[in-house]
Amino acid sequence: MTFPYAACQNRSPDDEVELVRTASGGRKPVTWCGVVAALLPLLGTVGTVGAESLTALSEQLLAASQRALAAERAARLCERAAQKIADAIRAERRAVWLERTAEALRERGGREYLAARRGADLARRERAAVVSEARQLTRNALEALDGLLEIPAVLEHAAGGLPRDLVSLSERLAEKTAHMRSAALAVREALLELQAVHVRMELTRDRLTEQRARRIEESLARHQAALADALVRLVETGEALTRAGEDLQRAASAPGVRERLGPRVTRRRAWGVGVGLGFNIDVGGKTRVDTARIVRDPATGGEVVRVDRTRTDVPRVVAEAHYLFPLGRGDGRSCQGPATRNDDGKETSAVGCGAEEAVSRIGAGPFLALQPGDDFIDAVGAGLMLGIRTGALFPDDRVQIGVGYFADPNTRVLGDGFAPNKPPPPGETQVRYKDVTKSGILVLLTYGF
């Protein structure tokens, strides 16, 4: 983001806007570059200011200084437009008189008529040029004033994340900005009234008399004075904005305040919980069995044990708790401002941290997992987990991948003496089961928050 200060450095004294009160005594002219100069010390540097390095305070002051420069341009355009409107009215009047003079000399002819005719043609061309320029300047001035009527969001209230002793001064800066808006609205109305005088002149030029022309001149002078007063009010709001910036500068430059406005890194909590899918891989021991029965084997004619349903390596829903230690130092950026507060009053990350802050987005650490089931808890597991912070829904959202050991204390297997596709023990007519603790490898993918 380029800060528009070079224009003030390269401006000559002749280019400065000097608006003085003529009706109630002289005032020292106020230049809008003085407003910018008063606000610059809090911005840190002159020239370019990167968007990542803006604090909440500098954002507000930068917006205020930009409005000051916009007000300077609007004041210049209004002053030029007012002068051109006055020139256009006088050009209209001069063209009318010359046209009527030429018309009166038409019957005589001769050199006097030709000179009057040339003078009338020249007056018409001059009038057309002046009127066109007046309309263009008026449009530009109104557009500039319309920009001042829209207050940026950072100037509607105090800047966020400031110490308590600076909040009132920041609110004062926002208040002076609102006063500038009111002054700009008054200037806009005065300029439109002045433009209306010219419109009335154009509409009545064919019926223009000395008396009517005199009334238009009086109306022009009256509205010019009203516009000058409105412009002085706009300048006075610039003075008030300058003083507010100077007061805020002095308060922010007090001992200890700069440190409180310095960089602050948002700390992410390391612990969390998550839900997702787990995959158990049995290691050794008997196979899990849901149902089995004793049937007659057609090949041998004897009885054998047939397993109807097993649950080996089946994914399940898991809930886990983890504690992840950060890996590395993030992306190398640093937060450049104080922490701000959201609408609920909770502290959030510092301005300028963006989506990737100066804290690591990747962490690793231990986890403890539970698999709910028919027996409330079917299995428990523990291991190591790798998490990547996404911030998709909440500030601490993570996606985790974990690998570890699991133990299922309620695993159903065939009883002693029973084996799949083997004859049952002598005298057994029904399949017997028993519950054992199975263990193995646990692989899980969870979403943490």
Of 389, 383, 379, nearest to 368 by C-alpha is 383
Distance of alpha carbon 22 from alpha carbon 9, whole angstroms = 29
pLDDT digits (tens, 9 = 90+) for 51-100: 333 366 777 777 777 787 888 888 888 999 999 888 888 888 888 888 87
Relative orientation angle of helices 110-149 and 56-104, to the nearest 10 degrees: 160
Per DSSP, the residues of 215-265 read HHHHHHHHHHHHHHHHHHHHHHHHHHHHHHHHHHHHHHTSTTHHHHTS--P
CA proximity to 310, closest of 283, 285, 286, 291: 291
Strand partners, 280: 442
**Whole-number Cα distances in Å, 334 to 235, 329, 348, 398:** 40, 10, 15, 21
pLDDT, tens digit, 9 for 90 and up, residues 36-58: 444 444 443 333 333 333 366 77
The pLDDT tens digits of the residues spanning 158-214 come to: 776 677 777 888 888 888 888 888 999 999 999 999 889 888 888 877 777 778 888
Q: Are 296 and 302 within 8 A, CB to CB? A: yes
pLDDT tops 90 at residue 11: no
> Which pLDDT value is given to residue 392?
57
Which of the pair, 27 or 219, is modelled with greater confidence? 219
Give the mean pLDDT of 131-137. 89
**Which residue reads 């910018």 in tokens?**
36
How far apart (Å, rounded) are the C-alpha atoms in residues 201 and 361? 70
Kindly report, residue by residue over 303-349, the tens digit of the pLDDT: 888 888 777 666 788 888 888 888 765 544 334 444 444 434 444 44
| pLDDT at site 314 | 67
Are 380 and 368 in contact by the 8 Å Cβ rule? The answer is: yes
Q: What are the residue boundaries of the structural domains of the chain, listed by start?
A: 6-260, 271-448
**CA-based torsion, 369, 371, 375, 380: positive or negative:** negative
Q: How far is Cα 55 from Cα 260, in angstroms, rounded to an integer? A: 12
Q: Which residues contact 201 (CB under 8 A, 6 or more apart)?
A: 89, 92, 93, 208, 216
Q: What's the whole-number mean pLDDT along residues 228-234? A: 90
Residue 26 pLDDT: 41
CA distance 434 to 431: 10
CB within 8 Å of 373: residues ≥ 6 apart: 316, 379, 410
DSSP for 75-99 reads HHHHHHHHHHHHHHHHHHHHHHHHH
What tokens were used for 209?
Answer: 């008399």
Give the pLDDT of residue 261: 60
CB-CB contact of 3 with 68 (8 Å)? no
